[in-house]
Amino acid sequence: MAAYMIIYARIHDRDKFISEYAPAAAALVEKFGGRYVLRAPGADVLEGSVEPNGSVVISEWPDKAAAEAFWNSAEYAAAKQLRNGVADVEVLLVDAPRIND
């Protein structure tokens, strides 16, 4: 069953985030079998306690195991270091059962 990783990021240094972390993470998403569905800045918060104007990233994975292999890999651990002090993130991983069949 497909899984989705949903990330809400408050980016403090967009230039550094885009030039350093984003390309490293994107290469690993592809390597581990994921694909981006959405990458967009400026999210409006309609309800809840997250700060407005954050960026949202949604990636689709073959299953939770593939997403977890990416997330827990040594390669991604190194890439995550590139966002230290650059962005604060909230990350969710959810199975995606088909609901429109």
The residue range of the domain holding 16 is: 3-94
For residue 99, is it within any domain? no
Assess if residue 100 is contained within a domain: no
Q: What is the three-state SS of the chain?
A: CCEEEEEEEEECCHHHHHHHHHHHHHHHHHHCCCEEEEEEEEECCCCCCCCCCEEEEEEEECCHHHHHHHHCCHHHHHHHHHHCCCEEEEEEEEECCCCCC
The answer to whether residue 22 sits within a structural domain is: yes
Per the domain annotation, does 48 fall within a domain? yes
Question: Is 27 a domain residue?
Answer: yes
- Please state the domain count of the chain: 1
The answer as to whether 35 is a domain residue is yes
In a domain, 101, yes or no: no
CATH number at residue 25: 3.30.70.100
> Is residue 99 over pLDDT 80?
no
Mean per-residue pLDDT, 10-24: 95
Classify burial at 28, counting beta carbons within 10 Å of its beta carbon; exposed 0-12, middle 13-18, buried 19 or more. Answer: middle
Q: Please check the confidence at residue 98 and state whether its pLDDT lies above 80.
A: no
Mean per-residue pLDDT of the chain? 94
Q: At what angle do helices 64-71 and 22-31 cross, to 10 degrees?
A: 140
pLDDT tens digit sequence for 77-86: 999 999 999 9
Once rounded to an integer, what is the mean pLDDT over residues 62-89?
97
- Pick the closest to residue 83 from 17, 25, 19 (CA basis): 17
Asked whether residue 83 is assigned to any structural domain, the reply reads yes
